[in-house]
Structure 1
Amino acid sequence: MSSSEIYDLCTRFLRAYQERDLDMLRQIFTRSEELTVLGTHQDLRFLGWSAFETSLVRQFSAMQDTDIQITDFRSHVFAGAAAACAYATTLYRGRVSGQDIHIQRLRLTLTLEHHDHSWRIVQAHWSIPADGSLLNPRPSTPQPETTASAPGGHGSGTVPAQKAQQQPALAAHGGFPSGAATAFAVYRQLAATVTERLNQGTFDFASDIAPHADEYFIEIADGDPLDLTQMKETFIPVIDAIAAGASFSWSVELEHARYLAPDVALLITSARVSLTLSDGQLDTKRYRITNLLTRNASGAWVFLHQHRTEIPAE
């Protein structure tokens, strides 16, 4: 599958969404119960086509005059062309339940798998840039003109809160594929090691993070998509805070896991990252994260991609 073919499928998806063409979306997405879709806030996470289709019907009933334009697009084919990932930044304009929405940087990750001689979307993740985060404190970005729903989400302009809370969620459970569970064990150990070395003042990005990422690694967090070199800079404020007397913690939990192709794992995780400042003040961020990992030539699990959405702290 070429980059142009991936781009074409991505544009077909966005066109079908803005035209509320459910039949086209049925052809583009896998309709299995292994489909995972993460929306723009914590209640919007769906496991399986039936749950996502119910959400789409509800969204479409409230949408009007939607226009979605791609402003940045990247893609990567892996696993011997058996799977692919696309990253898009989009400009979203529309009306939802009579309210105008304008989001300048609505980010989208799509993971594709080859099914029955055609490509299908097996995972999607929407997010809106936050003002900044503990690991990525960037200048504030343009905010939506209203709190109404963005794609993949139900906001105050669509579904009442009590209905949004009833959406099916990804349930943490056992019985994950053994390889995917092994990949997560590597992830959890990475978090523990980085936590320890940051607090000891011995952290080194080149040895503690870089070996765990593929050369094509992309992270979507609170600003623009980051490659490995750019990601290194996000640790600087944490290192500075620790040097000033703060302590750091990073924990991760597994919500869902599956294989996309041989030696490629999709993990949906939650994470909590905290800084306790010298005066006792606590700064905590919580995220829901899409992770793609693959086994490299030496057999070690490494990250291909991460896309995280901040969720409110408890």
Structure 2
Amino acid sequence: MNSDEIYDLCTLFLHAYQERNLDTLRQMFNRSEELTVLGTHEDLCFLGWSAFETSLARQFSAIEDTDIQMTDFRSHVFAGGAAACAYATTNYRGRVSGQDIHLHGMRLTLTLERHDHFWRVVQAHWSIPADGSLLSPKQLTHQPETTASAPVGHDSGAVCAPQAQQQPALAAHAGFPSGARAAFTVYRKMASTATKRLNQGTFDFASDIAPHADEHFTEIANTVSLDLAQVRETFTPVINAIAVGASFSWSVQLEQARDLTPDITLLITTAQVTLTLSEGQPDTKRYRITNLLTRNSSGAWVFLHQHRTEIPAE
């Protein structure tokens, strides 16, 4: 499966949504309870095809007109063609339940897996800019259930909720696949080590973070696509704050997991980061994150891709 084929598949996915063609979407998605679809805020976490299909049907009944354009498309094929990841920017214009909606700069990640010579979407994640320039999905969340809004899951019914934010014991993950457990152990240790070294003033991105990322790593945060060098820059404000007396904490928790192949795993996690100034209230942010990891040539788990959506404070 080359990049052109993945592009065509993503185009078909958006076209099927635009045309409200549920039959085509049924053929494209892995219709099992292992499917995970993350929307643009914390209430939109659908576990399993049945929950997602119910949401789609509710949305399609309210959508009157829709146009979705895709730009900035990129993809990677892994494990000899057994799994793939695609991400793109999408612009949405539509009329839903009599309301005009325009959402620009939305980010989409799709994770695909080969099943009997056919490709199926096993995970999807949408996010929108967090700068307040777009129509707030939280406002739409509390509208009557007959009202839908933006693409793929602005829905009034939450299927899963964020779990408590603490660094979990590994025994709690006994039910997850072995590859996922091993990959999450790496993730958890990386967060713990980075937290400790940041607070000690000994943090070094090149040794504490970079070795855990593939050379093609891409992160989507607040709908902005970041390469590894740009991710490094995001630690600078934290380092500067700690230098003048602040403290930092970073915890991660595993919500869902799936081994795509023996060497590719998909993790759905929540994370909480807190920066507490020497005099002031803690600044805490929570995220739900799609993580795609692979084993490198030395057998170590490394990140291929992350896509995170901030969970607004209640």
TM-score by length of 1: 0.90
Counterpart for residue 53 of structure 2: 53
1:119 match: 119
Counterpart in the other structure of 1:295: 295
Task: Give me the whole-angstrom Cα distance separating, in 1, the residues matched to 2:285 and 2:34.
Answer: 28
Does the alignment pair 1:271 with 2:262?
no
Q: Offset of 1:313 from its aligned partner?
A: 3.0
Does the 8 A contact of 1:183 with 1:293 survive in 2?
A: yes
Amino acid at match of 1:29: F
User: Map of 1:22-33 to 2, 5 A cutoff?
Assistant: 22-33=22-33
Find the aligned partners of 2:279 and 2:117 in 1 and give their Cα distance: 60
Question: How many Å separate the matches in 1 of 2:81 and 2:18?
Answer: 29
Structure 2 residue aligned with 1:37 = 37
Query: Could you say what secondary structure the match of 1:225 adopts?
Result: strand
3-state DSSP of counterpart to 2:195: helix
Q: State the partner residue of 1:249.
A: 249
* Distance in 1 separating the partners of 2:77 and 2:126: 20
Deviation at 1:97, TM superposition (A): 1.4
Are the counterparts in 2 of residues 13 and 25 from structure 1 also a CA contact under 8 Å? yes
Aligned pairs for 1:1-314 (under 5 A) are 1-131=1-131, 142-144=133-135, 147-148=139-140, 149-154=149-154, 159=156, 164-165=157-158, 167=159, 174-313=174-313
1:274 touches 1:284 (CA, 8 Å); kept in 2?
yes
Q: Retained in 2: the 8 A contact 1:47–1:170?
A: no
- Structure 1 residue runs of 5 or longer lacking an equivalent are 132-139
Q: Calculate percent identity across the aligned residue pairs.
A: 75
Deviation per residue, 1:175-223 (Å, 9 max, x gap) = 1012211110110000000001111111111111110000111100114
> Is the 8 Å Cα contact of residues 173 and 181 (structure 2) preserved in structure 1?
no
How far 1:32 sits from its partner (Å)? 1.5
CA deviations on 1:13-59 (whole Å, 9 max, x unpaired) are 00000110000001111111111110111111111111110110011
Give the 3-state SS of the residue equivalent to 2:151 in structure 1. Answer: coil
Conserved? CA contact 1:46–1:169, under 8 Å: no
CA distance in 2, matches of 1:233, 1:196: 19
1:169/1:23 CA distance change after superposition, 3 Å: farther
For 1:144-171, what per-residue CA distance to the aligned partner results, in whole angstroms no more than 9, with x for missing partners?
388543222326xxx4xxxx24x35698
Aligned to 2:168: none
Instruction: For 1:66 and 1:286, locate their aligned partners in 2 and report how far apart those are by CA, in whole Å.
Output: 31
Deviations for 1:38-87, whole angstroms, at most 9, x for unmatched residues?
Answer: 01111111111111101100111111211110121110111111100000
Q: Secondary structure of the equivalent of 2:225?
A: coil
Q: In the aligned structure 2, how far is the partner of 1:239 from the partner of 1:203?
A: 8
> SS in structure 1 opposite 2:240?
helix
Code of the residue aligned with 1:66 in structure 2: it is T
Query: In structure 1, what is the Cα distance between the partners aligned to 2:173 and 2:54?
Result: 23
CA change 1:145–1:223 in 2 (3 A) is closer
Residue 199 of structure 2 aligns to a residue whose secondary structure is helix
One-letter amino acid matched to 1:256: Q
Structure 2 letter corresponding to 1:43: D
Give the whole-Å Cα distance in 2 for the aligned partners of 1:198 and 1:122: 36
Unaligned runs of 5+ residues in structure 2 are 141-148, 164-171
Moved more, 32-41 or 143-152: 143-152
- Evaluate the alpha carbon distance shift between residue 121 and residue 224 of structure 1 in structure 2; reply closer, same or farther with a 3 A threshold: same
SS at match of 1:306: strand
Distance 1:210 1:145 in 2: 34
CA distance, structure 2, for counterparts of residue 11 and residue 111 of structure 1: 14
Q: Aligned partners of 2:224, 2:214: CA distance in 1, in Å?
A: 19
**Partner Cα distance (2:249, 2:5) in 1:** 42
Distance 1:48 1:73, change over 3 A: same
Q: Using the alignment, how far apart are the partners of 1:212 and 1:92 within structure 2?
A: 35
CA contact (8 A) 1:252 1:270 kept: yes
